[in-house]
């Protein structure tokens, strides 16, 4: 009897009532999607658009086609930046084994271990600006600690941040300090999740040292390694603040990376070339896209498993 009445009442139910369940997820997604579109997706296409123009950011833009990209191809400063980006990507990855090493070292129960862990994590907590300043003073050729220490061994002062040969490596080293701490904390949490039974089983089978690490511990740390890899790659490509603080891209542009060069030509004190800056941004975006696509692909594969 009641069943007969039901269809009628559903007809009277509002459209909202009927579709509530189906719509709700989209409603919850809407604010995020909206902001993501406005602040990320649309600007990407705008950048493509601006990169085809000659524009000083103030007057009228003129369309120049692929001229900016053609010029990039003949710009030695662009190749210097690109080369430095490659160095950053390669050397920054050292943070992963270094972080793992420290994590393994700290993963023990000794009195006060928490203090040691916090001390090792400290560089990641302080601002990149402070890290940059500390290392700038450390490298200072007149009073820097590095050259004082080199002096003990009779080695002459090295002008790390003022010499085009060393400057990029000097900055990468400064960047590795907090990045290593970050990877360490990722591995420390990962180590907490390592299954003690498997370790025990490995011990019974007489696995020790490297073999234990390689075959039993590391496979269980795979998720942590993946995240460490992702944040390190992204960190290397975003390396802007340290360069800005420590050298401003100098001496004579030899420590620039793409992100800094883009800032310099488009937005800095002397920069009025929005189109050219946008072209550099597009190149940087394409490089990042390779990594992002790879990360998304591996996550997708992981989830399907």
Smallest gap, in angstroms, from Cβ of residue 173 to another protein? 16
| Tokens matching residue 273 | 């070339």
Smallest gap, in angstroms, from Cβ of residue 65 to another protein? 16
Q: Confirm if 171 and 86 have CB atoms less than 8 A apart.
A: no
Cα distance between residue 271 and residue 221, in whole Å: 45
Residue 101 or 271 with smaller CB distance to another protein: 271
Smallest gap, in angstroms, from Cβ of residue 301 to another protein? 44
Nearest partner of 187 among 228, 242, 153, 156, judged by Cα: 228
| Tokens matching residue 305 | 């498993």
Residue 202 or 271 with smaller CB distance to another protein: 271
Residue 105 or 252 with smaller CB distance to another protein: 252
Smallest gap, in angstroms, from Cβ of residue 205 to another protein? 56
Smallest gap, in angstroms, from Cβ of residue 162 to another protein? 3
Q: Please report how the helices 95-106 and 222-237 are oriented relative to each other, as an axis angle in degrees rounded to 10.
A: 140
| Alpha helices (runs of H) in 13-109, residue ranges in sequence order | 15-36, 42-50, 67-73, 76-92, 95-106
| Tokens matching residue 302 | 């992981």
Residue 141 or 202 with smaller CB distance to another protein: 141
Q: Confirm if 175 and 92 have CB atoms less than 8 A apart.
A: yes
Residue 64 or 94 with smaller CB distance to another protein: 64
DSSP 155: P
Residue 154 or 156 with smaller CB distance to another protein: 156
Smallest gap, in angstroms, from Cβ of residue 266 to another protein? 10
Contacts of 157 (CB under 8 A, 6+ apart): 141, 142, 147, 150, 151
Residue 159 or 220 with smaller CB distance to another protein: 159
Identify the helix (H) or strand (E) that includes residue 54: strand 53-54
DSSP 269: T
CA distances from 56 to 52, 265, 267, 271 (A): 13, 10, 10, 8
Smallest gap, in angstroms, from Cβ of residue 252 to another protein? 4
Residue 57 or 101 with smaller CB distance to another protein: 57
Cα distance between residue 50 and residue 67, in whole Å: 12
Binding site for another protein (CB under 8 A): 56-59, 71, 76, 139-142, 157, 159, 161-164, 247-248, 250-253, 264, 267-273
Smallest gap, in angstroms, from Cβ of residue 185 to another protein? 33
CA distances from 295 to 78, 86, 231 (A): 27, 18, 11
């Amino acid at each position: 009897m009641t069943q007969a009445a039901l269809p009628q009442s559903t007809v009277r139910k509002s459209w909202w009532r009927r579709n509530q369940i189906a719509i709700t997820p989209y409603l919850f997604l809407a604010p995020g999607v909206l902001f993501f579109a406005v602040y990320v997706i649309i600007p990407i296409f705008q950048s493509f658009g601006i990169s085809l123009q000659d524009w000083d950011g103030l007057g009228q833009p003129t369309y120049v086609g692929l001229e900016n990209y053609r010029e990039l191809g003949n710009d030695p400063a662009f190749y210097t930046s690109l080369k430095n980006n490659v160095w950053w990507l390669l050397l920054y990855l050292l943070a992963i084994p270094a972080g793992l090493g420290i994590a393994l070292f700290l993963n023990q129960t000794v009195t006060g271990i928490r203090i040691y862990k916090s001390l090792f994590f400290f560089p990641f907590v302080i601002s990149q600006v402070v890290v940059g300043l500390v290392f700038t003073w450390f490298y200072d050729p007149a009073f820097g600690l590095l050259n004082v220490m080199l002096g003990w061994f009779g080695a002459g002062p090295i002008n790390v941040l003022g010499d085009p040969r060393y400057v990029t490596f000097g900055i990468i080293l400064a960047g590795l300090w907090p990045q290593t701490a970050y990877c360490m904390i990722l591995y420390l949490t990962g180590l907490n999740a390592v299954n003690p039974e498997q370790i025990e089983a490995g011990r019974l089978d007489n696995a020790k040292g490297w073999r234990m690490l390689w075959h039993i511990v590391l496979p269980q740390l795979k998720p942590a390694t993946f995240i460490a890899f992702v944040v390190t790659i992204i960190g290397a490509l975003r390396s802007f603040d340290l360069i800005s603080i420590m050298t401003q891209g100098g001496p004579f542009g030899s420590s620039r990376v793409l992100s800094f060069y883009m800032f310099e030509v488009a937005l800095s004190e002397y920069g009025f070339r929005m189109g050219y800056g946008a072209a550099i941004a597009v190149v940087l975006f394409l490089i990042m896209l390779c990594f992002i696509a790879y990360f998304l692909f591996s996550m997708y594969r992981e989830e399907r498993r």
